[in-house]
Amino acid sequence: MTDDGSPAGGAPRRRPLATGEKSTIVYGILGVLLVLLVAQLWLLTATTNAWLGGDDSVVLPAAVASLACLGLNVGLLLYLFRLE
Amino acid sequence: MTERDSRTPDGRPPAEQPRWRRDFPIDVAEDAYVARRDFAKFSVLVSAAFATGQIWLLLRSIFRRRAPGAPPARVASVTDVPVGAAIAFRYPTERDPCLLVRRGKDEFVAYGSECTHLMCAVLPEVEKGRLRCPCHMGFFDLATGRPIAGPPRRRLPVVTLEVRDGGIWATGVKLESEQ
């Protein structure tokens, strides 16, 4: 056995994160989530404005971008679940 | 110097806390962590709602493109509208209020009469060459339907007209990007 408790020659065992460390990670994830949310809100208002004015050309790219933001958000949430 | 205890709000150890707090002990750091994690979950839910809104716009856009154009409809007789006067009509459906204005002997213009700001009815001011929205003092150019003052940023939908057999016919509606 090594000092960190892992078997000799094996990969070092990961120390479980303390609540304070997890809170820091959650803070970081929350920051990114909020930035993505603001970007999505802006996209939705700008697209609605263009669509009401009869401009359909931006609707598809905006929908793709919004779905990409949602994908990132879901990915961050899944990472958060893995921290448990 | 003693180390601050992260489980209590004031950093003192649990044994030094008041009786009521010892009876109902809450790990403050753990509580804050759970609250932020739940907030992250809620944020993702809001993100999904925004993405759903974008998909809804996309579907509406596809259906709008596939919809057939409105059939021509007779609005009024030429003699019904004196020069400088305006009449209200609905086109292409009963839910679309419009305004026909006679600017000159042979000059007719028609627009959707809902303000592009917050859908109040616009009023014609023919002598000033503009349409006015009384709700928030938005103004549109009578000749083109473009916003000239106030909060509106989009022009009014233009109803294309045709004069034939002594009647004025609405033949279609053009939105901003189609003009």
Q: Which domain holds residue A47?
A: 19-83
Chain A positions in Cβ-Cβ contact with residue B47 (cut-off 8 Å): 33, 36-37, 40, 69-70, 73
Q: Which of residues 16-75 of A touch B (CB under 8 A)?
A: 19-20, 22-23, 26-27, 29-30, 33-34, 36-37, 40-41, 43-44, 47-49, 51-57, 59-60, 62-63, 66-67, 69-70, 73-74
Min Cα–Cα distance to chain B from A83, Å: 11
- The H helix count followed by the E strand count for chain A is 2, 0
Chain A positions in Cβ-Cβ contact with residue B27 (cut-off 8 Å): 19
Does A14 reside within a domain? Answer: no
Percent of chain B exceeding pLDDT 70 equals: 97
Chain B positions in Cβ-Cβ contact with residue A80 (cut-off 8 Å): 37, 40
Determine the average pLDDT of the residues in B131-141: 96
Q: What is the pLDDT of residues B27-74, one digit of tens each?
A: 877 787 778 888 888 999 999 999 999 999 999 999 988 888 789 999
Beta strand B86-90 with B158-164 is: unpaired
Q: What is the pLDDT of residues A18-51, one digit of tens each?
A: 767 777 888 888 899 999 999 999 999 999 989 9
| Tally of domains in chain A | 1
Q: How far, in Å, CA of B136 to CA of B152, rounded?
A: 9
Q: How far is CA B95 from the centre of its chain?
A: 16
The yes-or-no verdict on residue B2 having pLDDT over 70 is no
Contact B57 A76 (CB under 8 A): no
CATH class of B73-178: mainly beta
ipTM: 0.80
Q: Domain ranges for chain B, please list them.
A: 14-66, 73-178
Residues A12-37 as b/e (b if ≥16 CB within 10 A, e otherwise) read: eeeeeeebeebbeebeebbeebeebb
Contact A53 B116 (CB under 8 A): yes
Contact A37 B154 (CB under 8 A): no
- Specify which residues B130 forms β-bridges with: B125, B141
- The H helix count followed by the E strand count for chain B is 2, 10
Instruction: Give me the sign of the Cα torsion angle B163, B168, B172, B173.
Output: positive
Does A12 reside within a domain? Answer: no
